[in-house]
Structure 1
């Protein structure tokens, strides 16, 4: 399966297992979603469990919070992460706080799916990476897979979780990682070497990172598309880097990060979002607090630039092998 198929399979599995799981959003029903992630689900489970909504993100999430409080497990889709901002009040003021405000009487077991990031020539309003906003909010969990296998297992775990989860899907790798170089568009796709995705039920525990490449000289922390870009860079530079795929940003597997950095003595953090206030800043602070006496070089961040998303220059905006390679060589010189 590619990532789209794996996400579809996860929702199919959970709808079959739990009649309380419902899918909702703009064009998710008959049309099957703008990226076809919900294709076939309405035909299989009916219009009361897979249904289209008006174009009102605030309303979509507000309804989902209410459905969750009454015992359902809604999986609302926000068509693009760029459209999620009208729903912030419902997510921040209602979903994230419901368990605490009700002293545990109510929960918001909702999983908000949304494609995020660039790479499909979507322009300024279809390409943003707003994960840092949600990792700041206590009470929300934030999940970003990098492979089809992880996408299915993490989505199942998110749907089963009793707290609200923001599930960002890197659409640049919806159909597989780019084949070839990562600093320019590719015209062909390649299947991820991780193997097949099981048809049935399995889950990947939230809060557990994966070491996708063991190494001894430097730790690379990444998530989503950037895991593949980092892998390409390491192969090109020949540096013996250990690559950590966070998989879930909140809860964070800080233990895996700490053990790796203490072993390598160096750390490079990569994300596509803008630099200032990005999640990499929090990661850098945590690494400094826990690993200061083991560091052989300053922590490096390779990120998007502090500009509005540049449609015509998006492939210069992305962290690619050139900029990541420079960061790796810089920390290795120390």
Structure 2
């Protein structure tokens, strides 16, 4: 019954596929002949788009101000100038229309990559994404696909207020037929976007704008937090992919497992250092499909689990992670699972930094589970 939900037919229990036969390497690296240069996340994403558009004439990019101007964050910079007006172009202010056009293009055989200017603007397109893109393969018995990528900056950190700072990832992880990808660094960003463009299923690709330019924002030139994020990374200029559905262990440890993604990877690393705990930090990288095997192995090793995400707690993706860990690792757990999240409120502009899970809140949760208690 689930064979035509995704291209793969090896899915096991909802969002958790069987990853046992997949390569355990974090990425397939570009050939040595390709240059490797420092890039921030914006540059890495832009490079991925240029490389794929040069390689495959079926790949195109469009969205509001995403053509000539190159996007409000410059991720689509110079695509129109290099690849032409029919491959990179501006769209009307109609998120529903943007995604609907992409779905039709995908069914026809193209591979559109559309930009929704902020994730907060994606809601008018939600019906098209959920009822059309996600269901295309299943409702046609595998005869038609929707190989589209919906890119969007998400999360806070730029003083954007309530309508430019939301984290809606859990709204998409609930929908069968969608893949959800969230990178945490420039290297992964390029490799994951390349893999998403090549994927035959619809991919929601959320980009943490707090990490776009590293630890400084583009408007105020001040540290956006007391922790240090990766401003740039050595990124191959040529093509490479990071596999969708494979998490990365970014810090090995034996005391407690931290599950996180996007900006919260860096917050979690800082929190572990602040707490002085030998924490194993896992960057999920993709929420659907979820690398449950890596999670399960880590929690069974450490016996404890802390989940960190920026979105509100209630019905956030941390709840799903907690349930999966409890189902698979119950007899290995030595303390209740803890969640460190945003508040259950609309995004509070005046209290932005209090809203964000920070290293201190992560450290408090780590110390609590180490003592056997819950937050």
- 1:281 & 1:72 partners in 2: Cα distance? 36
- Alignment partner for residue 279 of structure 2, among 228, 233, 241? 241
**Residues 278 and 77 of structure 1: CA distance in aligned 2, closer, same or farther (over 3 Å):** same
- 1:159 & 1:31 partners in 2: Cα distance? 22
Q: TM-score, normalised by structure 1?
A: 0.96
- 1:90 & 1:42 partners in 2: Cα distance? 26
- Alignment partner for residue 93 of structure 2, among 43, 46, 55? 55
- 2:248 & 2:70 partners in 1: Cα distance? 31
The runs of at least 4 consecutive aligned structure 1 residues that moved more than 4 Å come to 187-191
**Residues 144 and 327 of structure 1: CA distance in aligned 2, closer, same or farther (over 3 Å):** same
Match of 1:143 in 2: 181
- Alignment partner for residue 365 of structure 2, among 309, 327, 331? 327
Cα contact 2:211–2:229 (8 A) shared by 1: no
Matches within 5 A, 1:88-237: 88-177=126-215, 185-186=223-224, 192=230, 195-237=233-275
Cα contact 2:40–2:212 (8 A) shared by 1: yes
Deviation at 1:321, TM superposition (A): 1.2
SS in 1 for 2:234: coil
Match of 1:77 in 2: 115
- Structure 1 portions without partners, runs of 5+: none
**Residues 188 and 292 of structure 1: CA distance in aligned 2, closer, same or farther (over 3 Å):** closer
Measured on the aligned residues, the alpha-carbon RMSD in Å equals: 1.6
Q: Are residue 254 (structure 1) and residue 256 (structure 2) matched? A: no
SS in 2 for 1:75: strand
Cα contact 2:185–2:233 (8 A) shared by 1: no
Deviation at 1:223, TM superposition (A): 0.1
- Alignment partner for residue 307 of structure 2, among 269, 277, 300? 269
- 2:224 & 2:311 partners in 1: Cα distance? 21
Deviation at 1:192, TM superposition (A): 2.1
Q: Deviations over 1:48-68 (max 9, x none)?
A: 000000000000000000000
Q: Deviations over 1:66-95 (max 9, x none)?
A: 000000000000000000000011000000
Q: Deviations over 1:236-292 (max 9, x none)?
A: 221100000000000000000000000000000000000000000000000000000
Q: Deviations over 1:22-65 (max 9, x none)?
A: 00100011110000000111000011000000000000000000
Cα contact 2:181–2:285 (8 A) shared by 1: yes
**Residues 256 and 25 of structure 1: CA distance in aligned 2, closer, same or farther (over 3 Å):** same
Greater fraction helix: 1
- 2:202 & 2:233 partners in 1: Cα distance? 30
- 1:275 & 1:204 partners in 2: Cα distance? 29
- 2:98 & 2:81 partners in 1: Cα distance? 21
Deviation at 1:191, TM superposition (A): 7.0
- 2:143 & 2:264 partners in 1: Cα distance? 39
Deviation at 1:150, TM superposition (A): 0.2
- 2:133 & 2:231 partners in 1: Cα distance? 37
SS in 1 for 2:236: coil
Deviation at 1:178, TM superposition (A): 5.7
Cα contact 2:44–2:189 (8 A) shared by 1: yes
SS in 2 for 1:257: helix
Cα contact 2:214–2:232 (8 A) shared by 1: no
- 2:175 & 2:303 partners in 1: Cα distance? 31
**Residues 164 and 317 of structure 1: CA distance in aligned 2, closer, same or farther (over 3 Å):** same
Deviation at 1:187, TM superposition (A): 8.5
- Structure 2 portions without partners, runs of 5+: 1-38
Q: Deviations over 1:132-158 (max 9, x none)?
A: 000000000000000000000000000
How many residue pairs match? The answer is 330
Match of 2:49 in 1: 11
